[in-house]
């Protein structure tokens, strides 16, 4: 095998691939070949680096230079300047927004400083399609330790001692879940990896599978050994083609290396994995609905008990964990429960991966220790609110979570604190909003999503959420009453208490949290017929400031319904009865003469 003097790591996650990172790789290889360096410098396509706001990313090793927002045409410059001449390409370096200075090393970037990468430990460092790179960073070491040094009950005890809780949203203790499955005897047991990531804006599990698929395979095999299962199933949505391709490659390689299949590592333990594809139904993230979908039935939840650990896939004992939960397992085995236990809070151990999105400067994938505050995540890792605007709310937990406000910024992030604040951890979505967000509209957006994704099996979710959405629509149009607000709260509480599964039980959270934290905004919509954020079109009207309008006609020429009238070089007016409130006039006006009232 060739020994390279330098490695060029290029992000090959879905986001960067969409921004031509594959072409960057080709251009780098071509430039190296033109300079006779193809045997000295290796170009490696990796998984996601996390800093999506600044992608595509190219990282130079071993000097750890971090290039951001790289374009295909920059590839030759990187080769000629950095590799040949030893000079950093300054215009591609990250610029610190506070100091306005270039930062060449990712370790000194605010985005990475407070992160602890456990689940994401290999993402951005290895070629996910090369099993030897995974092995070089400790891949399958934990499986070997389990098979040669530990009994199944020892493995379960180690996971219990670690304090790891399920990262899919429920937060159930992982070791306890494994123990229950291990105690239910059957001729066949199953290990299921829930890779059906459906939250809007969430891409945590996808990035792990794209960047480090072998850690999932290894963890599932460890779980199989611990509970006595010989078959593993990965339930993954078909909308994740890159993750599917890399998992398929990883499974094939693991079989070839004797790490899956019969008699793994000569231990007598048999375990193999196959993929099952979902069609994108959000409700199939719930474990009983997921199992029914894999069985070829409708993806609908059922009452528990019996739990899947007793009667799951094909009626056999089945352990279901999500991708991020499994990604923590190998590290716990190799470094020990005590090491893992020291990270996080008393009741929430370890780290959590979040997809940080919305009106924030540093959009991306982050992994932080449990107990870090929302303020630290938003302002230190996230770099604060875009365009200097004011922070208004942060939605945690996806459609099932709640909207938290300024008073919650110093809340430590863990399962219990977020629930106490009126939200939840969920699978890890975190959407930041500024003052341009209307909280009535936000609640309505999430309710529309829930209504669309409801399986329809139970009345509270099927009918109740539809009624909630109708009331929110009525309020956003300025037709609501104070009585509607009280009915909104009562109905949300009823749905929360009576829905069949987690989707329905948590679906009112956005409504309840916004009612609690933004009651005055709801009242404005109902009483004053006003949307302070200028989002609800029915409550908006445009007007032209006669003292600022110079009669340039730009607004009139771009109005799609000819609602703006006026002679050239004379102040114009807007016919509000005709205006469709599209905002085209504001975008075109260079004099700030048009405003929303």
Same fold: 351-434 with 439-528:
no
What confidence score (pLDDT) does residue 537 get?
84
What confidence score (pLDDT) does residue 146 get?
98
Give me the tens of pLDDT residue by residue for the chain, a chain 597 residues long. Answer: 458 999 999 999 999 999 999 999 999 999 999 999 999 999 999 999 999 999 999 999 999 999 999 999 999 999 999 999 999 999 999 998 888 899 998 888 999 999 999 999 999 999 999 999 999 999 999 999 999 999 999 999 999 999 999 998 778 999 999 999 999 999 999 999 999 988 877 889 999 999 999 999 999 999 999 999 999 999 999 999 999 999 999 999 999 999 999 999 999 999 999 999 998 888 888 899 999 999 999 999 998 889 999 999 999 999 999 999 999 999 999 999 999 999 999 999 999 999 999 999 999 999 999 999 999 999 999 999 998 899 999 999 888 888 999 999 999 999 999 989 888 888 888 999 999 999 999 999 999 998 988 888 999 999 999 999 999 999 999 999 999 999 999 999 999 999 988 888 889 999 999 999 999 999 999 999 999 888 898 888 889 999 999 999 999 999 999 999 999 999 999 998 899 888 899 889 999 999 887
Reported CATH class of domain 6-113: alpha beta
Bond preceding residue 305 cis, omega within 30 of 0 = yes
Closest CA to 43 of 86, 11, 90: 11
Paired tokens of 465: 């959420």
What confidence score (pLDDT) does residue 2 get?
59
What is the CATH number that goes with domain 351-434?
3.10.20.600
Second CATH level (architecture) for the domain 541-596: 2-Layer Sandwich (3.30)
Query: Listing from the earlier edge strand, what are the strands of the sheet with 41-46?
Result: 41-46, 6-11, 58-61, 65-67
Q: Are 545 and 595 in contact (CB under 8 A)?
A: yes
Handedness of CA 450, 455, 460, 464 (dihedral sign): positive
Reported CATH class of domain 439-528: mainly alpha
Paired tokens of 293: 């979908």
What is the CATH number that goes with domain 131-341?
3.40.50.11540
What confidence score (pLDDT) does residue 16 get?
93
Q: Whole-angstrom Cα distance, residue 351 to residue 341?
A: 10
Closest CA to 292 of 175, 507, 457: 457
Q: What is the residue extent of each domain of the chain?
A: 6-113, 131-341, 351-434, 439-528, 541-596
């Amino acid at each position: 095998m060739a020994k390279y003097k330098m490695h060029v790591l290029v992000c090959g996650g879905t986001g960067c691939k969409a921004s031509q990172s594959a072409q960057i790789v080709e251009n780098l290889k071509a430039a190296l070949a033109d300079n006779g360096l193809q045997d000295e410098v290796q170009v490696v396509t990796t998984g996601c680096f996390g800093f999506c706001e600044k992608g595509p990313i190219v990282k130079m090793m071993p000097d750890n230079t971090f290039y951001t927002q790289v374009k295909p045409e920059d590839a030759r410059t990187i080769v000629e300047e950095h590799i040949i001449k030893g000079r950093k390409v300054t215009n591609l370096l990250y610029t610190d927004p506070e100091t306005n200075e270039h930062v060449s090393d990712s370790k000194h970037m605010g985005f990475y400083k407070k992160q602890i990468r456990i689940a994401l430990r290999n993402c951005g460092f290895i070629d996910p399609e090369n099993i030897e790179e995974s092995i070089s960073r400790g891949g399958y070491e934990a499986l070997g330790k389990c098979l040669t040094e530990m009994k199944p009950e020892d493995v379960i005890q180690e996971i219990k001692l670690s304090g790891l809780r399920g990262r899919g949203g429920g937060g159930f203790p992982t070791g306890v879940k494994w123990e229950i499955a291990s105690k239910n005897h059957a001729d066949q047991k199953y290990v299921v990896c829930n890779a059906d990531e459906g939250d809007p804006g969430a891409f945590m599990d996808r990035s792990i599978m794209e960047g480090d698929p072998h850690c999932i395979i290894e963890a599932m095999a460890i779980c199989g050994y611990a509970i006595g299962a010989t078959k593993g199933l990965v339930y993954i949505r078909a909308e994740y083609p890159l993750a599917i391709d890399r998992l398929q490659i990883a499974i094939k390689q693991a079989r070839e290396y004797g790490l899956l299949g019969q008699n793994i590592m000569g231990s007598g333990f048999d375990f193999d994995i196959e993929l099952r594809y979902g069609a994108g139904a959000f409700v199939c993230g719930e474990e009983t609905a997921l199992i029914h979908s894999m069985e070829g039935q409708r993806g609908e939840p059922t009452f528990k008990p019996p739990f899947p650990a007793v009667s799951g896939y094909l009626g056999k004992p089945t352990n279901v964990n999500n991708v991020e939960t499994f990604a923590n397992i190998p590290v716990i085995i190799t470094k020990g429960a005590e090491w893992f236990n020291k990270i996080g809070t008393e009741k929430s151990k370890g780290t959590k991966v979040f997809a940080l999105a919305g009106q924030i400067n540093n959009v991306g994938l982050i992994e932080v220790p449990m107990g870090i505050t929302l303020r630290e995540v938003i302002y230190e890792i996230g770099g604060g609110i875009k365009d200097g605007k004011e922070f208004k709310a942060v939605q945690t937990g996806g459609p099932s979570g709640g909207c938290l406000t300024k008073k919650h910024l110093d809340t430590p992030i863990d399962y219990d604190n977020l629930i106490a604040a009126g939200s939840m951890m969920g699978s890890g979505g975190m959407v930041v909003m500024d003052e341009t967000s209307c909280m009535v509209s936000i609640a309505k957006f999430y309710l529309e999503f829930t209504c669309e994704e409801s399986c329809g099996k139970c009345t509270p979710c099927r009918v109740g959420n539809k009624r909630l959405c109708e009331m929110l629509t009525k309020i956003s149009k300025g037709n609501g009453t104070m009585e509607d607000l009280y009915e909104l709260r009562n109905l949300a509480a009823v749905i929360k208490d009576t829905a069949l599964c987690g989707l329905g039980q948590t679906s009112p959270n956005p409504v309840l949290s916004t009612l609690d934290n933004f009651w005055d905004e709801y009242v404005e919509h109902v009483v004053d017929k006003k949307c302070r954020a200028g989002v609800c079109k029915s409550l908006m009207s445009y007007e032209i400031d006669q003292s600022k309008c110079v009669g340039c006609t730009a607004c009139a020429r771009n109005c799609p319904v000819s609602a703006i009238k006026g002679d050239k070089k004379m102040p114009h007016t807007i016919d509000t009865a005709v205006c469709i409130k599209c905002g085209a006039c504001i975008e075109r006006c260079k004099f700030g003469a048009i405003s929303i009232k």
